[in-house]
Structure 1
Amino acid sequence: MLRKTILISILLSFTAFAIAQDIDNIFKDRSEVYFTFDVNTDTDLQSLSRAISIDNVTPEMQVFAYANKKGFSEFMKRGISYTILQHPGTLHHPRMLDVAGVKNIDSWDFYPTYDAYVDMMYQFEADFPELCDVFSIGTTNEGRELLVARITDNVSQSEGEPEFLYTSTMHGDETTGYVLMLRYIDYLLNGYGTNARLTNLVDEIDIYINPLANPDGAYHGGNSSIYGAIRFNAMGVDLNRNYPDPEDGPHPDGNAWQTETVHFMNFAEEHNFVMSANLHGGTEVCNYPWDTWSTLAADNNWWVYVCREYADTVHANAPGGYMTGYNNGITNGYQWYSIAGGRQDYMNYFHQCREFTLEISDVKLIPASQLPAHWNYNYRSFLNYMEQCLFGVRGKITDSASGDAITAEVFVLNHESDSSWVYSSLPGGNYHRLLFESFYSIRYSKSGYYSQTFDNVIVHDREATVQDVELVKIMFDIDEPLAETFSIYPNPVSGNYLKLKANQSVGDITIYSMNGELCHKSNTGGTNTAFVDVSKLNAGTYIIKIVLDGKLVQQKMIRH
C-alpha cells in the first residue's frame, strides 16, 4: 500500500512538472494563447469560463477560447484534448496609415496607427467644433487614451435628449468595428445639414462614440500597427468578463476591476445612456440579453424586434451568407453560451441601459480592403438601431407646484423584471421607456410624491408616445430627505446583487427583515458605491440601513 501511495505521488508530481514545462514552452514568446477543444453537453462550460475566456461555441460543441498563462495552466489540469491555433491578431499584416497618411483619405480601406487614430479623433472636433467634442475618459496601463466623440447639434449644452453610446474593440484583436466607428463619426458629421435623416439624428440624440475600448490590446505589437493585437488588456485580463454581474457579483472573473473597466464604469455613472451597443468580431450575430442567466429579459419582444430589424437590413445589403447563422443573425446570449462579467448585462441591469453585443465579422482582423464592404453591410443598421432610442414612451416628469424637473421611477405594471424599469434624469426630468408595440399601464412615482398611473398607453413600433407627467408633492413627509440621500437599484431586486449609491462615503450596510431580524451586514470600505450581496435573502420586504454623516438613514427594499 505504501509503495502504491509513493508511486501515485511520483506520477502526480511528474504530471505537474510536465504541465509546467509545457506551459513555459507555450508562453515563451506570447502573453495569451488561442485554442480550440471539443466538449459534450455535460461539460461544465461555466466552470471552465472562470479559468479561460470562451470566445465561441459552435452548434457542434466545438469551443474556441483564449487564456493567459495562469488560466491555461488551470485548463490543462482538466485533461481535455486541445489544439493551439494561430492567433487571430497575427493572420496577416494589415494596411496601416500614419498621421500624414490619414490627412487626405478618399477611402476607408486602412487601419490607423495609434498616433493617427488620436489625430483623426481630435481632427473631427477641430473640423466640426459646434457638433463634436472629443475627450478622454481615462488613460490605460500603458498610457494610451480611451477617447470618446460626442456628437449633437448643441455640443456645449445638455438639452435632455436621449444619450446613446456606440463602443468597439474591447477585445483588442476584434478590429472591424474600430474602423467602422471612425467612419461612422465621419459620416454623421459630414452628413449633417445635407442628409435629412442624419441631421435629425444629430439634432435629437446626444451621441457618444468610443471606437477603441482596448487600445493596449489592439496595439500590443506597438503603436505603428495592429498586427499582433491581443484579446486581453495589458494586464492579461478579458475586459468583457471584468464587470459586476447581476448573478455572480462585483468580481465574477476573480480579478480586480481593470483600469479600463473603472474608467468605463465611471463614464456610465456620469451619464444616463438610454441605449448602447458593444461591437465585437469573430462571428456575425446580434446578441441580446441576458448573457448571465436563462431568464428572458422583460423586453424580450422588443429585443427580438430591434435585432431582427438590424439583421434583416443587413441581409438586404450584404451578400448571401453574411450574418445568417444562429437564428438568422440574432441570438439570445445565454442560449448561445453563458458568460459572467460582460458589459452588456452590467449596463442593462445596473444602469437600465439597453445594450446589446454586435458581432460584425467572422474574421477578427479582416484585411483592410474588406472594411468598405463591411461598412456597406452595416451602416444602415447602425442608423436604425440608434434611431430606436427616439421611440417608445418618452416625456418629462416635473413637480406640479414648482414646475421643476425631478428624478422619478417609470414602471410598467405587470411587465417589469430584472431592473428593466427606468428613471427620469436631470436637468430636464426627461425619461425614455423603450417598449414593443402594445398597450401598457405605466406608474410614475417618487419618494415624497403621490404616484400616478396611466392605463392603456398605446405604443407603436418606430413611433414615439409622449407622456409628460406632473407629480404632486406630499406635504410634511419627514422621510423624504432621508430617502434622497442614497439610492438602491434595482428595487425590487431579483438578481443576487443590488447596487447602492450615496452622496458621500458609506461605512456599514445592514439589512433587516420586517420583524427586526438582522439578515445582512457588510462594509463598503469608505466608498460611496457598493454592490450588495442579497443572494441569501428570501423573497420579501426588508429595510436597508446605512450611516451617512453620523445619521442613520434607511429605505425599504423588496426581494423577489
Structure 2
Amino acid sequence: MDFACLWLTLLLPLVAALDFRYHHQEGMEEFLKSVAQNYSSITHLHSIGKSVKGRNLWVLVVGRFPKEHRVGIPEFKYVANMHGDETVGRELLLHLIDYLVTRHGKDLEITNLINSTRIHIMPSMNPDGFEAVRKPDCYYSNGRWDRQPGLPACLSSPPLAIPPHALTPASLLRRQLASMLPSPAATPSPTRSRGPATGTSHSRSLTPDDDVFQHLAHTYASRNPNMTKPDPCKNKMNFHNGVTNGYSWYPLQGGMQDYNYVWAQCFEITLELSCCKYPREERLPYFWNDNKASLIEYIKQVHLGIKGQVFDQNRNPLPNIIVEVQDRKHICPFKTNKFGEYYLLLLPGSYEINVTAPGHEPHLTKVVIPEKSQHFSALKKDFVLPFQGQLDSLPVPNPSCPMIPLYKMSPSHSAATKPSLFLFLLTLLHIFFK
C-alpha cells in the first residue's frame, strides 16, 4: 500500500500546472518561488531591486548555469509589463517559464536551448502599475505609468544581460529589433515588431545592423498567425508582414531599446501583442497559442552570427578590445568583456572582422558565416593578437561612448527627437500592448 502511494506521488508534476488567469504580485511570486525550488538545477530567482512601492522586481534565470555567466553561452532576456496596464506579456512570460522548465530533459529542442543559452525572464517590470488597475480597460487606465516605466526581449552579450540601470524608470533606449521590448509608444495594432533608431532615412531610422533587426522582427512575426494579417485591429495601421520601423511608427526621445543597443551591445525589439491592453482572462489561452512558437524561435536567434575570444600571444584573454564588422561602425564600439569574449549577431554571409586593441594597428580577418549555423551555437572564431597584453595597462579605447542621451547632443533637437504635444497625446491615447 505504501509503495502504491509513493508511486502515485512520483507521478505528480513538480509544479501544479499554471492556470490561465491574471496573476497578481502574490500569485506571481508564489509561482516563481515554486519553480525556483523545484527546478533549482536549471533556474535561479533573484530580485534586481524594488519598485517605488516596495515590490520586488523578479527575474527568473533559466539555463544550464543559471547563477553565473559561462564563456561561450550567450545571454538572452525577455521583459514584460513595462506599462502596468499592458498585461498580456506578463502572463505569456509566466507560461513560457512553465513551458521551459517542464520540458527540460523531455523535449530535445527545449533541453538543447536551455543548455546552450542563459535566459533571463522578467514577467513584470511595473508591478505597481499592474496592481493599481482597478477597472481593466482596453485603451487606458491609471496603471499605465504609475511611476515605473509590454514585453521586451533582448539578445545580449554575456555580461550585459538585464543591466540594472536599463530597468529603471529612466528613458534610455537602445538599438535592437527582434523580439519583445516595451516602448513608450502606443499603437492599436497587435504584436508588431518595433526597432531602434540611430539614423534616419526616408522616414525610417536605420542602425548599422538593420538587416539583423529585420530578420529578428520577421522571425517573431512570421510565426504568429495573427501578426501578419493586414490591419487585424481594424485601425488602418497596416504594417507590412507585421513589422514596422520604430521611427516610421513615430519618433521617440530615447528608451530602453536604444540604450541597450548603443551602450550594452544588446539587440532589442518591441512587440505589440493584442488589440486590447487588458483583455478578458478567457482570451489568455489564445494569446499563448498564438505566441508560443514565436517566443521559442526568437530565443534561438541569440545563436546567430559569430562568437569567440580575443587573446594575446600568450593566450591571455584581452578585455576592452573592439571587435566589429569593418563596415558597421557603432556609436559605442562593440568590445570584448572581461573574459575577452565577443558576440556579433550577423546573418549568413562574408564579413571582414576588425579587431582593434588600444594603441595597436587593426587586425582584419575575413570570415564566412554559413547558411546553416551550428546547432544552438554561433560560428566560433577566436583571435590571437601578436603582442603580449598587460590587462591592467591597456588604455581606454577611443572614441569613447557618449555619457548623455544622444538626443541631447543636438542643440536644435531634430524633428526626429523633439518632444511634442502630438507625441504626448499618442502616448496617452493609443494602445500599447493591447
Give me the TM-score of the superposition, normalised by structure 2.
0.74
SS in 1 for 2:132: coil
Q: Does 1:472 align with 2:386?
A: yes
Correspondent of 2:80 among 168, 172, 196: 168
- 1:161-200 residue pairs with structure 2 within 5 A? 161-200=73-112
Q: Which deviations, in whole Å up to 9, do the C-alpha atoms of 1:254-301 show, x marking residues without a partner? A: xxxxxx98472699xxxxx99873157853211112288544111111
Unaligned runs of 5+ in 2: 1-13, 151-162, 171-175, 412-434
Correspondent of 1:426 among 322, 331, 338: 338
SS in 1 for 2:100: helix
Distance 1:296 1:263, change over 3 A: closer
SS in 1 for 2:53: coil
Distance 1:265 1:317, change over 3 A: closer
SS in 1 for 2:253: coil
Name the residue aligned to 1:289. Answer: 196
Taking the aligned partners of 1:278 and 1:263, their CA distance within structure 2 comes to 12
Taking the aligned partners of 1:299 and 1:278, their CA distance within structure 2 comes to 17
Distance 1:226 1:186, change over 3 A: farther
Taking the aligned partners of 2:272 and 2:303, their CA distance within structure 1 comes to 24
Distance 1:148 1:226, change over 3 A: farther
Q: Which deviations, in whole Å up to 9, do the C-alpha atoms of 1:506-546 show, x marking residues without a partner? A: xxxxxxxxxxxxxxxxxxxxxxxx6696547xxxxxxxxxx
Structure with max Cα Rg: 1
1:197 positional shift: 1.0
SS in 2 for 1:355: strand
Q: Does 1:216 align with 2:128?
A: yes
SS in 1 for 2:296: helix
Q: Does 1:108 align with 2:29?
A: no
* 8 A Cα contact 1:291 1:339, kept in partner: no
Unaligned runs of 5+ in 1: 1-102, 241-259, 268-272, 491-497, 500-529, 537-560
Taking the aligned partners of 1:468 and 1:290, their CA distance within structure 2 comes to 31
Q: Which deviations, in whole Å up to 9, do the C-alpha atoms of 1:164-194 show, x marking residues without a partner? A: 1100011111100000001111111111111
CA RMSD across the alignment: 3.6
- 1:9-28 residue pairs with structure 2 within 5 A? none
Name the residue aligned to 1:380. Answer: 293
Which amino acid in structure 1 is aligned with residue 189 of structure 2? Answer: T
Which amino acid in structure 2 is aligned with residue 300 of structure 1? Answer: D
The structure with the greater share of residues assigned to strand is 1
Name the residue aligned to 2:323. Answer: 410
Taking the aligned partners of 1:292 and 1:368, their CA distance within structure 2 comes to 41
Q: Does 1:305 align with 2:218?
A: no
1:233 positional shift: 3.7
1:311 positional shift: 1.2
SS in 2 for 1:154: coil
Correspondent of 2:311 among 394, 398, 405: 398
Which amino acid in structure 2 is aligned with residue 211 of structure 1? Answer: P
* 8 A Cα contact 1:439 1:456, kept in partner: yes
* 8 A Cα contact 2:199 2:206, kept in partner: no
SS in 1 for 2:279: coil
Taking the aligned partners of 2:243 and 2:122, their CA distance within structure 1 comes to 24
SS in 2 for 1:313: coil
Q: Does 1:278 align with 2:181?
A: yes
Correspondent of 2:368 among 453, 457, 471: 457
Give me the TM-score of the superposition, normalised by structure 1.
0.58
SS in 2 for 1:208: strand
SS in 2 for 1:422: coil
Q: Does 1:264 align with 2:171?
A: no
* 8 A Cα contact 2:177 2:216, kept in partner: no
Q: Return the structure number with greater relative CO, CA threshold 8 A, min gap 6.
A: 2
Name the residue aligned to 1:314. Answer: 224
Correspondent of 1:437 among 334, 339, 348: 348
Q: Higher mean Cα deviation, 204-213 or 344-353?
A: 344-353
1:488 positional shift: 6.3
1:406 positional shift: 3.2
Name the residue aligned to 1:149. Answer: 60
Distance 1:205 1:175, change over 3 A: same
* 8 A Cα contact 2:18 2:98, kept in partner: no
SS in 2 for 1:133: strand
SS in 2 for 1:121: helix
Q: Higher mean Cα deviation, 114-123 or 442-451?
A: 442-451
Q: Which deviations, in whole Å up to 9, do the C-alpha atoms of 1:36-74 show, x marking residues without a partner? A: xxxxxxxxxxxxxxxxxxxxxxxxxxxxxxxxxxxxxxx
Name the residue aligned to 1:55. Answer: none
Name the residue aligned to 1:334. Answer: 247
Taking the aligned partners of 1:315 and 1:396, their CA distance within structure 2 comes to 40
